[in-house]
Amino acid sequence: MLLIPAIDLMNNQCVRLEQGDFNAQTVYSEDPVLTAQHFEKAGFTHLHMVDLDGAKQKDPVHLSILNLVSKATRLFIDFSGGIRSLEQATEAFDNGASAITIGSLAVNDPDTTLSILKEFGAEKVILGADVKNEFIATAGWLEQSDRDIFSFLEFWLDKGFSKVMITDVAKDGMMQGPSLELYQNVLQQYPAIRLIASGGISGMEDIRKLSQLKCYGAITGKALYEGIINPEELKAYLKQN
């Protein structure tokens, strides 16, 4: 299982939100490039970068930081936040993204989502599913759709997506454990997908449980920034990957 650190960007800073609340943020670093380099030196190979301002404005605003991080590290960078068109997706790749995650667009504009998937392929385009009470949230979690997670997955997996990042908004930034039951249910129904779990990781035990579920990857943020995860355990885990 891939262990993937997260950099969430607001006002050019690395922040973490609680349950997707833009008013409940903690600034952890004013230098995203240095933070990314720190993750690389710790042994990570992938990075999940979220443009929170872009998600809110429905237009990426931190592409310059993406560009700087891509040039300063060799990390595989998955970028998300505000992508609403093929042109914006292309711009993200031009600025160093290795992959992009599409969530809100997949709910609101299937045709454009399909065009992006066709243009770049399933290895470079990840389906994002931000979930509140099993329904999909959009626009940086500020809006809630009437699509439930299972019908959403059923529709898009049939169209060619293979990697799916699922975030339980209620768990995100709370360090109260990930949504193991949700992930288990999804994997039971769709065993072929490569599920990336996001939200709630509070320590190595949570990571071990997600690995036992056969998740493809797991995103971790706050537990890393606050030093909750034991560095020695983490180092050993990364060696296994």
Q: Which of 51, 53, 78, 130 is catalytic?
A: 130
Q: Band the pLDDT of 22: cuts 50, 70, 90.
A: low
Asked if the model's pLDDT at residue 2 lies above 80, the reply is yes
Closest to 150 (Cα-Cα) out of 111, 172, 182:
182
Dihedrals phi, psi of 12, to nearest 5 degrees = 70, 15
pLDDT in tens, 108-149: 899 999 999 999 999 999 999 988 877 887 654 555 667 889
Cα 189 from chain centroid (whole Å):
22
Number of domains in the chain: 1
Q: Band the pLDDT of 75: cuts 50, 70, 90.
A: very high
Asked if the model's pLDDT at residue 49 lies above 90, the reply is yes
Dihedrals phi, psi of 2, to nearest 5 degrees = -75, 130
DSSP per residue, 167-212 = EETTTTTT-S---HHHHHHHHHH-TTSEEEEES---SHHHHHHHHH
**Which range, of 22-26, 53-57, 203-207, averages the lowest pLDDT?**
22-26
Mean pLDDT of 7-13: 91
Q: Bigger pLDDT: 85 or 228?
A: 85
Asked if the model's pLDDT at residue 21 lies above 70, the reply is no
Mean pLDDT of 47-73: 95
- When the pLDDT of each residue in the chain is averaged and rounded to a whole number, the result is 88
Buried b (16+ CB within 10 A) or exposed e, 158-180: eeebebbbbbbbebbbebeebbb
Angle at 227 between CA 222 and CA 233, to 5 degrees: 110
Q: Bigger pLDDT: 178 or 138?
A: 178
Active site residue 111: no
**Which range, of 84-88, 105-109, 117-121, 236-240, averages the lowest pLDDT?**
236-240
Give the model's pLDDT for residue 15. 81
Query: Three-state DSSP class for 67?
Result: helix
d(CA 239, CA 136): 35
d(CA 104, CA 160): 17
Q: Which of 8, 53, 78, 172 is catalytic?
A: 8
Please name the residues in contact with 47: beta carbons below 8 A apart, sequence gap of 6 or more. Answer: 4, 5, 6, 7, 36, 39, 69, 73, 75, 76, 77, 78
Asked if the model's pLDDT at residue 64 lies above 80, the reply is yes
Active site residue 78: no
Q: Band the pLDDT of 157: cuts 50, 70, 90.
A: very high
Q: Which residue has the tokens 């509070």?
A: 202
Please name the residues in contact with 137: beta carbons below 8 A apart, sequence gap of 6 or more. Answer: 20, 130, 131, 143, 144, 145, 169
Q: Bigger pLDDT: 241 or 92?
A: 92
The domain in which residue 25 lies consists of: 2-240
d(CA 17, CA 27): 9
State pTM to two decimals.
0.90
Give the model's pLDDT for residue 134. 78
d(CA 3, CA 191): 20
Give the model's pLDDT for residue 221. 86
Buried b (16+ CB within 10 A) or exposed e, 53-90: bbbbebebbbbebbebbbeebebbbbbbbbbbeeebbb
pLDDT in tens, 199-210: 889 889 999 999
Q: Band the pLDDT of 214: cuts 50, 70, 90.
A: very high
Share of the chain above pLDDT 70, in %: 88
* CATH number of the domain to which 99 belongs: 3.20.20.70
For residue 34, give Cα distances in angstroms to 31, 72, 102, 223: 5, 9, 26, 18
